[in-house]
Amino acid sequence: MNETGTRRQALNPYLPSWEYIPDGEPYVFGDRVYIYGSHDFYNGYVFCMGDYVCWSAPVDNLSDWRYEGVIYPKDADPLNKDGKMCLYAPDITIGPDGRYYLYYVLDKVCVVSVAVCDTPAGKFEFYGYVHYDDNTRLGEREGDEPQFDPGVLTRGDKTYLYTGFCSRGDRSRSGAMVTVLDSDMLTVVQAPKIVVPGCEYSKNTGFEGHEYFEAASIRMVGEKYYLVYSSVVMHELCYAVSEKPDEGFVYGGVIVSNCDLHIDSYKPADRPMAYGANNHGSIIEIGGAWYIFYHRHTNGTWYSRQGCAEKIELLPDGTIVQAEMTSCGLNGGPLAGDGEYGAYIACNLFTDTPSMYVGDDRFPKIMQDGRDGDENPGYVGNMKDSATAGFKYFDCKNVTAIAIKTRGYAEGCFEVRTRWDGEVLAKIPVQSTNVWEEFSAPLALEDGVHAIYLTYRGSGNASLLAFSLVAG
């Protein structure tokens, strides 16, 4: 059963609504999918405040995620014995010796740390720092650019380490770079070289407008290398492709945007449909299907991010079609069009005033009660007049009514649509209440796959905990 009591299905976010694991790097080891990422806190005041934890799920049941516990505490690194630095986004690879190597960067240093474990989700132990053969650490040699956001891929006895951070106006940062490591997983055998340009060095490269910003992640699709990265606009994950791991990358396109920009299937391409910000993730094949893992932002800030995933289509020529944000990413299809769903699975959040980025208190946001770690269900809060929560998609048959659970000092109604700008199919009157109460209205939908959009119209400020589709 899921958090609201309905039959178990795969939802977005794919982890419990009270868990905040952004920067997700998914891997299949054996018969399970493991997710590695940084660890935000609910109501966090900076990025990546927690220890590294791991979650996993059976490859044949992507709704059944299991908490594997803390795999690496932030004070395990000798540079961070007091725990004052944060563990930024990690990546993992299997070394030639069959062990699992975790690569990461702390938030105030420019070097790459490595931890190791015999199992994919056991207790990782500090292993060392990536260094040159004279023991100078990568990132500290004269001429080195600072290391950030490691992505790793091991092929035979060599490990390819992709790193970099490039912001607008900083010509000291060139782009995404690859460094080749020896079989000991630490020693540099090929010095860093730029493979994808940052915005200050992108002229006439084909990357203009989608230059490298951060979040390097490397995967192989067939015999080609796909470098997934966050572009300079931050909300989108792009990819570059090459037949070689250390040169020849060409721009491929956008895989996903966490505000759904560029998607024109259900709305204009230039209209944002959620409050985006930075992004980080990667692609993976599970059970013959390909997915993109990424993250969304909650609580109206940049610092409480949650992992989401969408199915993607790889065309025969290797092109990836941009994925649309949904509430049913790993489900293999639409959700059942009956029963109760938590409002935290909203994939679209907006008002009559479009906004691409988080941070404005006029707008609705995913929230929860209590403190970080409290296993309280998420909800959509701060729903003022025109605030809309959208949920996609549901396989509806014989739907006769819709119910919602709300609270807050609000007097008005929730309008129900199946398109963001479609006709109003039902109105659910709501009244001020300081506890969750249920309100309902008749709703007749044609049988088929539908989105559900709930728009608040009225005074005050409403919160939305859940909604139910009732099939007769």
Residue 287, SS3 per DSSP = coil
Active-site residue flag, 313: no
Active-site residue flag, 82: no
**Catalytic, out of 214, 236, 260, 340:** 214
Contact criterion met (CB below 8 Å) for 335 and 328: yes
Handedness of CA 440, 445, 448, 453 (dihedral sign): negative
Listing DSSP states for 158-220 in one string gives EEEEEE----TT-TT--EEEEEEE-TTSSBEEEEEEEEEE-GGG-TTSS-TTS-EEEEEEEEE
Contact criterion met (CB below 8 Å) for 365 and 348: no
Distance of alpha carbon 239 from alpha carbon 249, whole angstroms: 9
- 62 - beta bridge partners? none
Strand extents, DSSP E, 198-298: 212-221, 224-231, 236-242, 250-257, 282-286, 289-297
Which DSSP state fits 315?
A: -
Contact criterion met (CB below 8 Å) for 418 and 425: yes
What phi and psi, each to the nearest 5 degrees, are found at residue 163?
Answer: -145, 170
Q: Which residues are catalytic?
A: 23, 214
